[in-house]
Structure formats: C-alpha cells, structure tokens
Structure 1
Amino acid sequence: MSDEQPRYPTSIGTSDPTTITLLGQDLAGELMGEISFGELAFRLTTRRTPTPGQLKVFEAVLVALADHGFTPTAIASRLTLHSAPESVQGAMAAGLLGGGSRFLGVTEDTAGFLAEVLAESETPSDEPGWNDLAREAVRRRREAGGFVPGLGHPVHKQQDPRTPVLIRIARESGTYGAHLALFEAIGRVAPEVLGKTLPLNGAGVCGAALADLGLPAELLRGYALLARAAGLLGHIAEEMRDPVAGDIYRSVDRNAEYVDPG
C-alpha cells in the first residue's frame, strides 16, 4: 500500500502558515494595494494580465451590470433577507440564482449568438458587409422561431443608455472587435427584418464587449453575476436600513385572489 499522498494541482492559489500565494504571486506583498479587484477577477479567470484598455472595458462592464433597480433578483434578495434576517449569504444567493435568460443571462446568450454567427461566416470588411451578415443572422433566427438575444429592454424602449457609452469606451480603448461590430449591425438592420424597432440592451452589449476581450463564452454569465453581487449587497444594506420587503410581501399576500382551478 503506497504512502504517497494524492496531489490536487491548481494555478489559482495556495497557503501555508505564513504566506498566501495567488496566481503565483505573494498576495500580501505583491497584490494587495497594487491591483484592482477587476484586474484580479480578470486574471483569475483568464490567467493573463489585461492591457489597460481591456481592463477599462472589463471594469466598465462590471459597473454597467451591477444594478438595475427593483429587478426580480433584487426583490428576491430583499424578501429572503426579510424571511431570514440572520442569513446575508442566503439573501445574496437568492438574488444570484435569478440570473437567467431574462436578467443577466442575456450577456452570455448574446455573446454566444454573435460568436456562432461569426464562426460560420467570413469577417466583413465594411459596414454594408456587416449589415448583410446581421440581416441574414436575424432573419434565420426569426424563421427558427427564436428571439435575437440582446434586442429589446422592458424599461428602455428607445435606447439603453449603457449601450452607446460602452461602445465608445471599447473604441477608445482599442478593444472594439467583430462581436461589437456585428451587434451594432444587428441594431441597424433588425427593424427592417422584424418590422419593429428594438434597442440594443446593456446586457447584450456587455456580452459583445466581453467576447471581444477574448473571454470564454461559458464564463460570461459568471462575470455578470460577479457584477450583480455588488448591486445585491447594496440592496441588502438598504433593506437593513430602510426595509421595503415587508410591504412587498403584504401587498402580494393581501391582494391574492383565489381562483377555482376547475
């Protein structure tokens, strides 16, 4: 019988009685106070150091996705805290679990859709070419009975204020690439294909911007959740100071109307 202990390789971090190593560096001596949380998150998931332009776009995305008011995720966090005030972790988890196809998950879905279109086509060289590619992509998605992710918003019916700002930041930072180019083209041609005008939403443009940074598509929802965690913590803190969850609960409970299932 071998006395050799099993090995569990990791490139993230390890610790011993006197030091903590993270990404191959001394956490206390080389990282704390030297890099931002955004840079750390980027490096932890990609194993590469972002350029200044990449970091600017990445952190702009985190800010853009941090909060959007009383969304279902925020309400879930507040109600969970109301039900279990001793469990901040439960309230945070409740809000994060709601990040799906309608809220936050659009970031990942949009990037995946754009990447799929780009993988099947040659990269256009001019705006008319991008428009043609986008027009065909929207047409095929419509004929298949699906929605184009990143189009439309329940509140911002004309324009999501985050969209032009993030596109500008990406251009200024030198990270504007094929995903954002295709996403902008979709915004231009969608009205003629769908017969209605829908704005490019913030979650979608965040997905396109992250994809242009070369971040893995399967992690993009995680970045959105990382951003929203800050917003949820803000809601929890506000709920502790000025609670509204009890009113939300009573409003629904007192106005519930029984309907005969038959």
Structure 2
Amino acid sequence: MAEELRFPTGLGTSDADSISLLGQDLAADLMGKVGFGELAFWLVAGRRPSPGEVRLFEAVLVALADHGFTPTAIAARLTYLSAPDSLQGALAAGLLGGGSRFLGVTEDCGRYLADVLASASGDDFDAIALEAVRTTKAAGRFVPGLGHPVHKVQDPRTPVLIRIAQEEGFYGPHLRLFEAIGRVHEKVLNRKLPLNGAGVCGAALADLGLPVDLLRGFALLARAAGLLGQIAEEKRRPIANQIYLTVDRNAVYEP
C-alpha cells in the first residue's frame, strides 16, 4: 500500500465552514482585528509581532511604497498602456524591476550588515564599520545603502526610521553599524555620502529579526501598493502614451 501523501503547512487551510490562518480563525479572530502589515510580519516570522515591531515594520513599508516616476513605475505604466486588460501584467512588470539599483538595496544592505557583524568581534561599531568599508573598497565594490541619486545630503527617511527604532526599543546592531558606516566612510572614500532610505529599511528589518534573504520581498510588498497607485493615476491622468511617443519620436537610427 502506497504511503499517504502529506504536504504539511503551518500557514492556512480551509474546510466547508471555516478558514484557518496562522492557527487563528480568519473570520472570527483576524478580520477587522489585525492590520495587513501585522499579518505580513506574522506570516513570514511565524510569530505575532509586538505593537512596537508593527510600528517600525509599517514605517518601513510606507518608506518604500512609492518614489514617483522611477523605472519600476514607468515600466508598470507602459505595460498598462500596452495591455490595459492585464492589470496583473502591469504590476508584475514594475515588481520585476526591483533589483540592485531600485528596491533591492534593502536586502543588499541588510545582508551586507549581517555578513559584517557575523565576522566582527567587539562592540566598537566605528572600528568595525571602518574595516568593512576599507575591505569593500579594496574589493572594488560599493557599500550598499550609501548614496542617493536625489538626496545628496540626507535622505529624509533615514533619521525618522532610526528614531522610531530607538523609541520602540529595536535600535539593534544592524542599525548601529549602518549609522557607524555613515560616520566613518568619508575617511576611506574621500567623500561624504548619505545613508539612503532603502539601506536603513534593510537595517531596521534585520534588527526586527526578519530573514535577510527575504528582505527584498518586503520591499516588493511595499512597492506593490505604490505601483497600484501609479496604475490608478494612469487611468485618471494618462501619461504613458506621451512617454512612449517622446522616446519613439526622438529615436535616432544608427546603423
């Protein structure tokens, strides 16, 4: 007799009369009682976050939701222009652009900080940061989370997220190291760069104990809301066709 197939899950299930999620009755225990940010944290971490964790986590989501006409937003709008019958295609097009230059910095920075901390000793964060920046420069790489194409002096999100983390008691080693990098990198790079918001989001999420290899997913979760807003605005005040025609009419063929 063949062994019975089993596909275990601790997330959700349903029967004819009820839906269970995370061991709770979805309709009776969660709907109207748990916010979406809290639920997203709970789904990934496998534990219900505290109010302070929810506040910091949702601040991160808000910080990453939308940044105007970024490549991801333009991709979503142009895809919607091409296929207005495929809202999911437009959203997916925008999300697929989340990489090392846009959105992906959140995970890149969190992973970088975690790797540095894993090999560091002591609690002199300035010394640890200085050595990390020197090593990174010697390897011909950039320090994730340093610099911003628009905010040349200070990213306005950075001090707010750090303050919220401190207020809620989640100002941990990743944020401490990230701030230390902000203090010492000029000695190595010979120029002053701001700590960008995507980087501080990665540091904050890592200090919340979330897996660093999933941090890009939280950035995409936040940006999905922003992209939906971009598509909604495209419906109200379309600009995608203008973008397309501007590029097309100024294209220069060079054989």
Superposition TM-score, scaled by structure 1 size: 0.96
Question: Aligned equivalents of 1:254 and 1:6: distance in 2?
Answer: 59
Give the equivalent residue in structure 1 for 2:73.
74
Question: Is it true that 1:150 corresponds to 2:149 in the alignment?
Answer: no
Question: Aligned equivalents of 2:237 and 2:201: distance in 1?
Answer: 31
Q: List structure 1 runs of 4+ shifted beyond 2 angstroms.
A: none
Question: Is it true that 1:211 corresponds to 2:210 in the alignment?
Answer: no
Q: Is the 8 A contact 1:20 1:28 kept in 2?
A: yes
- Distance apart, 1:199 and its partner CA: 0.4
Question: Aligned equivalents of 2:86 and 2:113: distance in 1?
Answer: 39
Question: Aligned equivalents of 2:246 and 2:16: distance in 1?
Answer: 53
Residues 1-262 of structure 1 correspond to what in structure 2 (within 5 A)? 1-2=1-2, 5-124=4-123, 129-260=124-255
Change (3 A) 1:54 1:123: farther
* 3-state SS in 2 of match to 1:156: coil
* Aligned residues between the structures: 255
- Distance apart, 1:53 and its partner CA: 1.2
5+ residue gaps, structure 1: none
Change (3 A) 1:123 1:55: farther
* 3-state SS in 1 of match to 2:60: helix
5+ residue gaps, structure 2: none
Amino acid corresponding to residue 102 of structure 1 in structure 2: R
- Distance apart, 1:123 and its partner CA: 3.7
- Distance apart, 1:132 and its partner CA: 1.2
Question: Aligned equivalents of 1:154 and 1:48: distance in 2?
Answer: 37
Question: Aligned equivalents of 1:233 and 1:170: distance in 2?
Answer: 28
**What do the CA deviations read for 1:151-195 (whole angstroms, capped 9, x no partner)?**
001111111000000000000010000000000000011111101
- Distance apart, 1:52 and its partner CA: 1.4
Superposition TM-score, scaled by structure 2 size: 0.98
Q: Is the 8 A contact 1:123 1:178 kept in 2?
A: no
